[in-house]
A and B are shown apart, each in its own frame.
Chain A
């Protein structure tokens, strides 16, 4: 099966509902946090406090179709490597996280918020990392529920532990921490994603 065909089939059957939920999170955000005429720091609040959930809703379901044993059996019986299918899902999910974040930042700019490229990178990093925590657990354990739960526990830990989490602190832009941590967060996310694939390949899951 060609790359394009795998992509299309997955986008059609395994992505749409999760994408719509992620869009719903972005659409609901202005109902909770104001997004008009905010200064640089205040702009980080919606971007860091609510938008990271789109990462969880898009990244964790990468392993969801195979929760259905019938689908799992069919996928495993195919010549195409199962992990390649998962990798394609990861790629389009990360692109979707970037896309929704980008549009949201653009809307904020239109609403006269003082947002820059850094806000996009910061929010994307937070979303990606929150999604990656659940993605890793869902992938290694085979339980999507455990994946969602891990991301949620990580979010709750951010409320309780705050900057004690160091560069893994989700709300660092809003709290005025150093921005360079956000680039590191993206790097750590990519390393974790690679490690998950490596472990899955190694142990032939």
Chain B
């Protein structure tokens, strides 16, 4: 049977072996040490319990105004239009439109903004510590004095922020998706921290918290490695010279491609699921008296990581069929890098189009739940997108069998495949 033949091919391939070593290695070096830690209730009387995003207009409005002025003065805007980092530089016309919004909010004219020469971008910077080393130092941002008039209503302010987001191209800090999480962070109280702890024990049944951390770590690796296995499998026919033989067989392109897709997704998902159960058994040892959810980590792994594997496999198969494995690796590499390395948020900040979702903590259930809708949207989005790419792959493969792909390739890259 085709399915088992392809399974054998994948399971005995070098790329699968490397995948297995990497996934197991990541589990034992990253998740395992953290999973040995017990989740503790908050201690009363601490100064800092972290922060939480709450929509408080009095906090959000001045912070968002500061953010917009900062980005206007530095000359570029940070955005995640489809979940990936983008540094947006606006044209003079659009920049003037942003200045108009700033003027409406703060009363500072475009001329005053452009003439402001003391501007300094804030953020963490490394400074010499005097002993030959470096220490991180928080540099204060220097901006013109910003005062929002009392006549500015919160609703109108949000409307202006939406307008600014539209000018930037969407996915900016001023969008409805990110504005609260970026500009309206309030300190957590002991009661907030205790409520979060209780929710982890009662609603997450403990393993839910470990599930988020498990998926956070494993997501880094499973969002990129499947592309190599997919590219290798798609390339294997060419390498073993059986491609012309397969082309002449009766089997439909859809059946062949979908079987290979299913085989790759299932075989690459199995080690993750096995490790999810291993993780669960580790957590059970820490909480022998508690009634934990035995399937929480595996269930979360399917919901969180399966779309990553599906997308990576689909893109790898499609681009290898259409162009080459080099292009598949490059494109997936760019997507992975802009999703994992560029985001500074290790916990929270999950967007509708986030490819690799992060939650690098056993705590902060409330932060995750805030983004739950966006998280689910992103998982559905990548699942549907993967299936769409697979439909395209079937089309590409059938055209290749018929010889029609040479026309597509010529149009795309001016090169035909012999």
Which residues in A have some Cβ–Cβ distance to B below 8 Å?
A: 17-18, 21, 24, 28, 31-32, 39, 41-42, 49-50, 53, 57, 61, 64, 67-69, 137, 141, 143-146, 148-150, 152-153, 156-157, 159-161, 176
> Chain B interface: which size bin?
35 or more
Closest to B240 in A: A69
User: B residues within 8 Å of A by Cβ?
Assistant: 14-15, 18-19, 21-22, 25-26, 29-30, 85, 87, 125-126, 133-134, 217, 220-221, 224-225, 228-229, 231-232, 235, 238-241, 325-326, 329-330, 333-334, 337-338, 340-342
A49 and B235 contact, Cβ closer than 8 Å, known pairs A31-B87, A32-B85, A156-B224: no
Enumerate 25 A-B pairs (CB-CB under 8 Å) in ascending A order.
A17-B326, A21-B326, A24-B330, A31-B87, A39-B126, A41-B134, A50-B337, A50-B341, A53-B333, A69-B239, A143-B14, A144-B325, A145-B15, A145-B228, A145-B229, A145-B231, A145-B232, A145-B235, A148-B325, A149-B15, A153-B18, A156-B224, A159-B341, A160-B30, A160-B220
Contacts of B14 in A (CB 8 A): 141, 143, 146
- Report the minimum CB–CB distance from A156 to chain B (whole Å): 6
In the complex, which of the residues A69, A148, A161, A176 has the most CB atoms of chain B within 10 Å of its own CB atom? A148
* Distance in angstroms between the alpha carbons of A21 and B333 in the assembled complex: 12
CA distance A95 to B341 in the complex (A): 28
Given known contacts A32-B342, A152-B228, what 9 new A-B pairs fall within 8 Å (CB)?
Answer: A32-B337, A42-B125, A57-B330, A143-B15, A145-B229, A145-B325, A157-B25, A160-B30, A160-B220
> Whose C-beta in chain A lies nearest to the C-beta of B238?
A68
Whether the Cβ atoms of B15 and A152 lie closer than 8 Å is no
Which residues of B have CB within 8 Å of A149? 15, 18-19, 225, 228-229
A137 smallest CB distance to B (angstroms): 8
Bound CA–CA A39/B139 (angstroms): 14
Bound form: Cα–Cα A49–B342 in Å: 11
A176 to B127, CA, bound (A): 12
Contact B18 A150 (CB under 8 A): yes
- Nearest CB to that of B325 among chain A residues? A145
Closest to B85 in A: A32
Cβ-closest chain B residue relative to A66: B239
Contact of B26 among A137, A146, A152, A160 (CB under 8 A): A160
Cross-chain contact of A67 among B29, B217, B235 (Cβ < 8 A): B235
Cα of A14 to Cα of B224 in the assembled complex, Å: 25
Question: How many interface contacts (CB-CB < 8 Å) are there between A and B?
Answer: 92
Partner of A28, one of B133, B225, B334: B334
Q: B235 to chain A: which residues have CB within 8 Å? A: 67, 145
- Shortest distance in angstroms between A8's beta carbon and chain B's nearest beta carbon? 20
Shortest beta-carbon distance from A138 to chain B in Å: 10
Residue numbers in B under 8 Å from A143 (CB-CB): 14-15, 232
> Is there an interface contact between B22 and A156, defined as CB atoms closer than 8 Å?
yes
Chain B residues whose CB sits within 8 angstroms of the CB of A159 once the complex forms: 220, 340-341
Q: Is the CB of A148 within 8 A of B228?
A: yes
The distance in angstroms between the C-alpha atoms of A146 and B374, with both chains bound, is: 35
Would you call B29 and A160 a contact (CB within 8 A)? Answer: yes
Q: How far is the CA of A160 from the CA of B25 in the complex (A)?
A: 10
Please, how many angstroms separate the alpha-carbon atoms of A73 and B21 in the complex?
A: 33
Tell me the complex Cα distance, A61–B342, Å.
27
Q: Inside 8 A of B18's CB, which chain A residues have their CB? A: 137, 146, 149-150, 153
**A67 lies within 8 A of B239 (CB):** yes
| Distance of A116 Cα from B89 Cα, bound (Å) | 30
Q: Judging by beta carbons under 8 Å apart, are A49 and B341 in contact?
A: yes
Q: Is the pair B134, A146 in contact by a Cβ cutoff of 8 Å?
A: no
Q: Give complex CA distance A21, B228 in Å.
A: 17
Of all chain A residues, the one with the shortest Cβ separation from B329 is: A148
Query: Are A156 and B221 within 8 A (Cβ)?
Result: yes
The chain B residue with its CB closest to the CB of A140 is B14
Q: Are B22 and A153 interface neighbours, CB within 8 A?
A: yes
**Cα separation A18 to B26 with both chains bound (whole Å):** 29
Once bound together, how far apart are the Cα atoms of A41 and B220, in whole Å?
Answer: 26
A67 to B243, CA, bound (A): 14
CA distance A69 to B221 in the complex (A): 31
Chain B residues contacting A24 (CB-CB under 8 Å) are 330
B133 touches A176 (CB 8 A): yes
The CA of A142 and the CA of B222, in the complex, are separated in Å by 24
Q: For B220, list chain A residues within 8 Å (CB).
A: 156, 159-160
Q: How far is the CA of A108 from the CA of B330 in the complex (A)?
A: 24
A146→B338 contact, CB < 8 A: no
- Alpha-carbon separation in the docked complex, A156 to B336 (Å): 11
Residues on A with beta carbons closer than 8 Å to the beta carbon of B87: 31-32
- On chain A, the residues within 8 Å of B231 by CB distance are 145
Asked if B338 contacts A21 (CB within 8 A), the reply is no
Q: How far is the CA of A61 from the CA of B330 in the complex (A)?
A: 13
**For the complex, what is the distance from the CA of A159 to the CA of B337, rounded to whole Å?**
12
